Every structure is written in structure tokens, then in C-alpha cells.
Structure 1
């Protein structure tokens, strides 16, 4: 019985495998060795690919293609000097082979010499009519150089030659987005869709551009066309759901998220969005169930733990909120969002010492937001740790040097530790930046606000701004 085309393809590999097992020597032509090598590389079996090249070069020592495959593996394994030497030797033999320049460019790219890599790729471009892959490589080199405009040009050239090159389509849109050229991206995608009207990827990307511009009606239509083009396109259902949420059409958003649950294994993101929609609809029990499903599906998803914590926080069930944020911290104690939530919840429960520790951890993990400095200072002030509060405010002022809400608190604390000169200095700074912040003294530091010297300074600035 004659072999099928699949059997024709598998037969050399089976013979090669048999040769390795028996130590017999079989003859293959050079093309067969190339195919065998590619097969093993595609399967990630690098050692067998190297064995095929070794035996292949033994039988075909002048095969340029096998030598290039050998060099490709060397570059992959960072044997750059040896690979470059072999490429220079090949260049003397066959200077018009574009693959030699591509591999040399790959070496320069690995050395972060991207301009030289682009120069070599342009030489390769001049030697072949099959330019799509080379333009894609040039585009990636420009990305490495943060030259998004030039990268975009090359990815678009890939699409002109190969319209179904979706990797290049994604990369081109990424460049448009980085350059904040959303209108240009929309024009480009509309033009692309004129020739490829059933490309679900392009419709999906078009919808995302409209979403960024808050053009929700147009975004919705784009995602609908993506779904018409491929009714199993999960990304389109997700994005459509997000648009429907923006339009406050929560029941329809839930329907789209639920469709994704039936197309593939459930995702924590889908459960999270469904929970958010139910909460917006006032279906608190359903919202809670889906938040639980979110953290069960992906215990490491911080948005899930934050959602269930915030759910209880909004209901002022601070004990439950604290329970879940502590559970989250046990899973990931380096998550700054968890510690900030912990600080806020402990503060609400008047567990000020625990709140102090949590705010300190929040700052250590790199959260320098203004409200963090303010809240931490208020906790320290409540604990009577005025000196620590002063140090915290001084640190905060390094990040927000003209922020009156920090200056006015610093002034109050200096007055409380009997340093009137510094208190007056920072109070004047605060009122100079924002005279309205005097209310903070009245609300949080009445004993300071009622001092005659303080009232005089406040009156002085009120008269000056009148």
C-alpha cells in the first residue's frame, strides 16, 4: 500500500529514530536532515536536533542549510562568538544568502546592537522576494530601540504582503497605541477591514480603539462584527461585556461574560466581572457568590481578593473585610494593595497599632500616594506618636513638596510638640499654597486652631486673599 502524504513526512523521522536506537547508519538527503531538524526544534527536542545536524553534516559536509541550522541553535544557546565565526566563513562562500545576514542580525540583537542588526536585516531584505518575516524582524528591532514609529511602518509592510499575519497586526496596533495615535489606528483598521471584512482580530482591535476613545456605540458594533466573524471569539465577548458595563447595561454584560464560561474553562476574570455587575444591580448575594468563585478559581488574583474585601467594606462589615484581606496577605505578603486595604480597614475598626504597621508596610512596598501619607499620619497622631507623625509628613513632603494638606498637619504637630516657630513656618506654607486648608486645623486639631497666634496667621491670609 502506498504511503499517504502524512506517512511520507513521518517516514524519515521514524527511520532516523530507528537509526539512533540501533546504531545503524542510514543515508538521508540534506533536505531530509533539514526537515528532521525542524521537526525536533518544533517539539523543543534540541539535543535530538543537534544530533540530526551532526549526522547530517557528516553525510553532507557542504550543506549551507544544515550549517545555518547549527548556527541557529548556537545563537539560541548564546554561543555567539563561535556562531559569528562560522557565519563569516559562510559569507565568504555564499554572500547572497539572506539567511546568513538574518542570523548575523540575530547575534547583534542579542548583543543589544540593534542598529547594526537592522542594517544587516536590510541587506537580507535586498536579497530576497520573501520579505514578510524580515520586515517583522526589523519591526521587533525598532521596538527594542523604542522607535515605535519605525516599528509600525515595518509591521504594516508585513500586513501588505501577508494580510493574515495577525502577529504583525497586533504589533502594529500596539505601536499605534503607544504613540497614542488612536484616530490613526481606527483609520488603518477600517482600511484593513475593507479588504478583510471577516477578520475577527481586526474588528476586535477596532473595538478596543473605540473603547479607549469612549465611543461605546461604535465599540459595541465592532465587537458584534468580531463575534459574527467568529462566534467562539472569547476576547470579543469579554470586551463587549466591558462596553455594556460602561453603558450600565449590566444584565446584557452578564450574558456576554456567561457565554465565555461555556466556550472554555471558566476564568477568574469572568467571575469577577459578573460579580461586579450583580453588585451594581443590587444582587448582593449573587455578587458575593461570584467573588468567592473568583478567588477559588485563581487564589493569586489580587483583583479577586480586593473585590470581596471591598464588597464587605462598602457594607461596613469591617470584620469580614479584615478577615478576607488577612487571608489575601497570607497568600501574597508583598502585595501593596493588600496592605493598604488592611491599613484602611484596621483604621475603621480603630485597631490603630495594626493600621500603623500596615501603612508602614505599604510605604516600604513603594506606595507613595498622597492619601497614604495623610492616613498614616492621622493614625500616628491618634496614637499620640507626634514625633513619628512629623517624620512621616516630612518624608511625604519629599514627594509632594507643595501639598497644603501635609503642611497644615505638620504645622499642627509642631505646635503640639511645643515648637511654635516650625509650626508657624509650615502653617504659613500651607495657607500660601491653599488658604482653604485651615479647616483641617479646626476639624482635626481644635486645640491648635483655637490658639491666638494661629488665628492671627489664618486671619492674615484670609485678608490677603480677600
Structure 2
């Protein structure tokens, strides 16, 4: 959170110029010397050194209001907010009418998350000086945090009435408008802040969040990258940019920005959760588990991370751990329909169809379309799906097939798509009833931009196993690349019905007008 603390010299000037010259009453030369030494160290940014000087001064003269104020300000610049509050309070004790001490103490209370006391201090400043724009501004920020939105808007408006070029107030008011989904007003405020200072990064980041909220991801990416050029240290910008790339299905770029966010702030659970989600989408389930474990260690009651970890466990075939994570998710949010659907899938895999149907019916009751589909297909339909019988293959041939599949997977990792297709073809030659081999070869053809052959392989995979959503998802991608968006949307909806969540992103972005 950006702090708006007035420069030291400006604060001192308000009421202590004469004190600075004569050491506040003509006390010993030591007090005068120590006061000046502290002041010089403050100007140089040596806040620890300044505190040392003021400590010595206050041992000689313990009612020196300005010294307490200055020491408090030094503590504040070292993020020692409790110490700052204590010193500002002492300054106020020895000088009752000290508006700048109330103002700075209000800032310190805000950083300590003591909003009630912060507001009372800003109230006193405004009562003393009704034209103190900064006090209105910071009181608005506190009220925003307390969800007193109308009062916050009033204070932001007053701050801007008093100081028309207050770029931070335009940004913060815009951020509040964005939070309240007043998108046009938010955009106007962000643009006004940029008009006042084209090098001010935060309103660009605000516009990026606005476009993200409006699902205009390409526009969001453009302004967020501008924000990063202006301020490389703004964590939230990297996180939002990574999220945009996730929703654009561009996982390599998403990973770049989420990794940067993690490097900047390694204790943010949300960043690890997003990175784990990206790894899940790229079928790196074991690597994803590490990120979800980290996210949950940082924030134990994190339903999204628990759910996503459950998906990793389910994909790895560890049904017991998957079930444990889905149940933990539902303890935190009993209407988390993704967890209900996935919990049902665990029961289905374990042959417990009554339990599976119970979970899917709950999801359907809460409006989940995947839950409704699974209920209609598995719990009410008279015709049950029967998987094709596996052909008998001797152990040596099975081992050879596994070898070709492993070679193909390594080729895919190295982007050697022709070699991958050749290895998957050898596996298919040994067992033409293996849907995964057709699917993997289809992936290789995707890499070669040979979408016609990819489409044929995905269709073969679906013929062999029409219950796997990822097959429909990739068949949809192939159809889209062959300029058949209508049929692609049908496949993506089928993938979504089967529980393959990434399809939802494409349905929203590509098929909303279908």
C-alpha cells in the first residue's frame, strides 16, 4: 500500500521554525545540538541515526513535543508504527493543538489496522483545518476499508474539491468505483489521474483491473504492461497480468508473470494457487501439488487451493487424498459445486455410484450444469455407458506400447512433434483400441499445425472413450483452427458437461454469441 507521508521539512515548518532556531526555549546547547543533528539525519534519510539523536535529547528534555513528533516520524519511515503512535501521542500530550501530529498518528493507526482511531485523528485535523485535503483523502481510504462506501466517496470528492490536481485521490476514487462496479466512473477517474501524470503507474494498473473485470483481456494486458514499465515493483499488476493470460489460455506467459509475482512476494498464497492451476492445465500434476501445498501452508482455509489440490490428486489417481481435499473444501463452502462434482467423480471411480449421484444432485440443485448433466447421464438414464472391452495383449507387447508412449511424451516435452507422432503411431499399431494413444498423437499433430489429422485422431479417441472431456476440448480446438467455430463450441460445451473446466474459458470468450 502506498504511503502518502509529507516530507519531513514540510512537517517541521508548520509550527516549529522558531523552535528549530533556538532549540525551543533556549535550553542547553546540548538540546539545540541534538535537535539539529536529528534534523540533518532525517533529511539524509538516516532514520535510525535520527532516532538515536532524539533519544538523547529527550533524556535531557522529556517534554519536547517537536522531538517526539520527529522521532515518531522517523519510526514511521522505518515501518515501526507502534513506536510512531507512542511518540505522536507524547507530542500531542505536550502540545494540545498539534494537527500534524494527529494527521501522522492517523496514518500510523491506519497502517496498524486500527481504523476507528485513525478516523478520530483525521476528524480532529479536519475540525482544526477544514481545507486539509490530505486528511479527507486518508479518511476516505479508512472508510473504504470499513465498507462505508458512501462516506468514502464523499471524502474523496471533498479532497478533490480542495485540491483539483490530486492524482492519488482520482486513482483511489476510481479504485472504489471499480470495486462497486461503476465501470464508467472508474475509467474516468483513472484517465484523469493519467492526464495529471502520465508516469503514474497505479491508474494504468487500475484500468487493467477494470478491463479484466469486463473480460477485455487483450486491452487489460496492454495497460498492465504499461503499468509495469512505469513501476516494476507493483506486485498486484504482475498477478493480474498472469490471471489475464490464464483466461486467454496462454499458460506460458501466465507462468512468467505469476513467477515474477512469487519472486517479489513469496508469502502470497494466491500466487502459488494460480501457478498450481497453470501446472494442472499443463498436466504437470505432481509439480502443481507443491504449489498448492505452499498456498495452503500460507493460508490453511483456502477453498480454491484445497479444491485445486484435490484435482491434482484425482488426476494422479490418489482417490483418498483427493476425497480428503474435496471434503475440506466443502467444509469451508458447502456450495462449492466444483468440489461436489469432483467428489462424485471420486465415488464413481471407486464404483460407489449411489454416493456419486448424491454429490452430483447437490451440485445440480445449486445450479451447476455439469452436475445436471452427470445426473441425467448416470443417475436417471436407463442406458448405461459401457466401456469397450480391452483386447488381450501379452506382457511384452504392453511393455513395448508403454515404451513408445513414454518416448512420445518426451518428444512432446521437447517440442519434437514429428518424432512424437511417429512414436504414438507405433503404439497405435500395437493396440488400435487405446484412446490415449490417439489423443496424444492428435496433440502432436496440433503441434505440427496439422489440424485435419489432429481432428481425425480426436474423433477416434472419442469413439473409444466418449466420457473424457479433454478429448472433446481438443477436438473443439481443432475445429476452431479449421474455421468451424459453431461445432467447436458444441464440443467445448460437451467438455464442460463432462467436468473439464478449461472449456468454460473458451465457451465464455468464443461462444458467448453463439
Change (3 A) 1:72 1:219: same
Query: Is the 1:431–1:438 contact (alpha carbons within 8 Å) kept by the matching residues of 2?
Result: no
Change (3 A) 1:393 1:314: closer
Alignment-derived partner of residue 135 in structure 2: 168
* Deviations, residues 346-377 of structure 1 (Å, cap 9, x unaligned): 33333333334433333333275555444433
Alignment-derived partner of residue 350 in structure 1: 283
Is 2:115 the partner of 1:181?
Answer: no
| Distance in structure 1 (CA, Å) of the matches to 2:188 and 2:348 | 62
1:434 aligned counterpart, secondary structure:
helix
| Distance in structure 2 (CA, Å) of the matches to 1:107 and 1:333 | 27
Alignment-derived partner of residue 82 in structure 1: none
Q: 1:280 aligns with which of 203, 219, 232?
A: 219
Change (3 A) 1:212 1:156: farther
Is 2:200 the partner of 1:239?
Answer: no
Query: Is the 1:404–1:433 contact (alpha carbons within 8 Å) kept by the matching residues of 2?
Result: yes
* Deviations, residues 384-425 of structure 1 (Å, cap 9, x unaligned): 22222222222222212354543443344235335x4xx535
Structure showing greater Rg: 1
Alignment-derived partner of residue 11 in structure 2: none
| Distance in structure 2 (CA, Å) of the matches to 1:225 and 1:323 | 31
Alignment-derived partner of residue 3 in structure 1: none
Matches within 5 A, 1:69-88: 69=64
Query: Is the 2:238–2:258 contact (alpha carbons within 8 Å) kept by the matching residues of 1?
Result: no
| Distance in structure 2 (CA, Å) of the matches to 1:328 and 1:413 | 34
| Distance in structure 2 (CA, Å) of the matches to 1:407 and 1:193 | 49
Matches within 5 A, 1:130-169: 130=97, 132-133=99-100, 136=103, 146=114, 148=116, 151-152=118-119, 154-163=121-130, 165-169=132-136
Change (3 A) 1:29 1:409: closer
Change (3 A) 1:359 1:280: same
Is 2:322 the partner of 1:389?
Answer: yes
Change (3 A) 1:346 1:176: closer
Q: 2:238 aligns with which of 304, 310, 322?
A: 304
1:174 aligned counterpart, secondary structure:
helix
Alignment-derived partner of residue 340 in structure 1: 273
Shift of 1:183: 2.9
Instruction: Give the aligned length.
Output: 346
| Distance in structure 2 (CA, Å) of the matches to 1:444 and 1:411 | 10
Change (3 A) 1:222 1:442: closer
Query: Is the 2:177–2:186 contact (alpha carbons within 8 Å) kept by the matching residues of 1?
Result: yes
Shift of 1:146: 4.4
Alignment-derived partner of residue 33 in structure 2: 36
| Distance in structure 2 (CA, Å) of the matches to 1:175 and 1:291 | 25
| Distance in structure 1 (CA, Å) of the matches to 2:186 and 2:260 | 38
Q: 1:398 aligns with which of 331, 341, 349?
A: 331
Shift of 1:343: 2.6
* Deviations, residues 97-133 of structure 1 (Å, cap 9, x unaligned): xxxxxxxxx999759xx9xx89x97xx59x95x3535
Shift of 1:341: 3.1
Matches within 5 A, 1:95-106: none
TM-score by structure 2 length?
0.48
| Distance in structure 1 (CA, Å) of the matches to 2:164 and 2:260 | 47
1:350 aligned counterpart, secondary structure:
coil
| Distance in structure 2 (CA, Å) of the matches to 1:34 and 1:427 | 81
Unaligned runs of 5+ in 2: 1-17, 73-81, 386-514
| Distance in structure 1 (CA, Å) of the matches to 2:216 and 2:163 | 32
Query: Is the 1:211–1:219 contact (alpha carbons within 8 Å) kept by the matching residues of 2?
Result: yes
Unaligned runs of 5+ in 1: 1-7, 14-27, 58-65, 78-105, 251-275, 455-466
| Distance in structure 1 (CA, Å) of the matches to 2:257 and 2:83 | 50
Change (3 A) 1:288 1:401: closer
Query: Is the 1:411–1:424 contact (alpha carbons within 8 Å) kept by the matching residues of 2?
Result: no
Shift of 1:10: 9.8
Change (3 A) 1:354 1:362: same
Change (3 A) 1:451 1:348: farther
2:278 aligned counterpart, secondary structure:
helix
Change (3 A) 1:445 1:390: farther
| Distance in structure 2 (CA, Å) of the matches to 1:107 and 1:41 | 17
Query: Is the 1:208–1:219 contact (alpha carbons within 8 Å) kept by the matching residues of 2?
Result: yes
Query: Is the 1:411–1:425 contact (alpha carbons within 8 Å) kept by the matching residues of 2?
Result: yes
| Distance in structure 2 (CA, Å) of the matches to 1:288 and 1:187 | 29
Query: Is the 1:132–1:161 contact (alpha carbons within 8 Å) kept by the matching residues of 2?
Result: yes
TM-score by structure 1 length?
0.52
